[in-house]
Amino acid sequence: MIRRTLWVTMSGKFARLPNLLLIVISFSVLFVNKAHPETVDEIFQNFKTAYEKSNNFSANFEETTLFANKKSVARGRFIFGKPNLLRKEYVDRKDASKVVQLTVLDGEYGWTYTPILNQVNKMKWTNPERRELLPGIGASLEDVQKNYDMALIPDEFANPKGVHQIELSPKVHMVSTNAKETLQIWLKSGEWLPVQFGYKTEFEDGTRQSVIVTLTQIERDKELAPDLFKFVVPKDAEVIDLSEN
């Protein structure tokens, strides 16, 4: 706590003391308000409030993966709709109009189509524990605070731009392997949109993998085509049905 002492000389006019105190208190309040940083709980609550008011969220993404000193970069676009609806397209490096892999979550099934193989993987998505997907994390917002410890990571470059990084570490009941995993989410103040996601995994043998997904051209609550989250199996495509597993 900062202690401030107001000095008044014996020869001064005591009538000025109330005015001086008022000025000091006013500056103190301004100082405290500006200096008081938002806590991780406050920032996450801002994000949660904005998320709950949204119907859909879309963005272009660049996904950078580092594993065993090897780096790979993939690009694409995704559209997320509530609840549990997703269309994610990975595109060709040289031709962004060419989709090299498509994933669709229709609320009941997850479909992944790889055109070059003309192959579709089908998985069951409905799960009573998976109430509403949070893009980039894969769990509902209610689950996040129950299942993860949250910490605010200072960033001298991002923070002045109003971007806050939250690191999520799984609680004991969420850990099922010896691998150490952490998640990160970067939130932009104001509209409280996520601008970046990150995943870090340290395996038992010491190897590490990290994935950073940077978002651009972010939009919220745009008008969507009614069949956007419906998947139609392409003609002659091989379907690998994993929905019974």
Least confident of 23-32, 58-67, 126-135: 23-32
Domain interval for residue 194:
40-241
Does residue 190 lie within any of the structural domains? Answer: yes
The pTM of this model reads 0.74
Q: Which residues neighbour 83 within 8 Å (Cβ) at sequence distance 6 or greater? A: 107, 131, 132, 133
Please give the sequence-ordered ranges of beta strands (E in DSSP) within 45-161, or none if there are none.
56-67, 70-81, 85-91, 99-106, 109-114, 119-124, 148-153
Q: Which residue has the tokens 């929905």?
A: 243
Q: b/e map of 76-104 (b: 16 or more CB within 10 Å)? A: bbbbbbeebbbbbbbbeeeeeeebebbbb
Does residue 11 lie within any of the structural domains? Answer: no
CATH of the domain at 121: 2.50.20.10
**Contact assessment for residue 113 and residue 102, using Cβ atoms and an 8 Å cutoff:** yes
Per the structure, the count of domains in the chain is 1
Give yes or no for residue 8 having a pLDDT over 70. Answer: no
| pLDDT averaged over every residue in the chain | 80
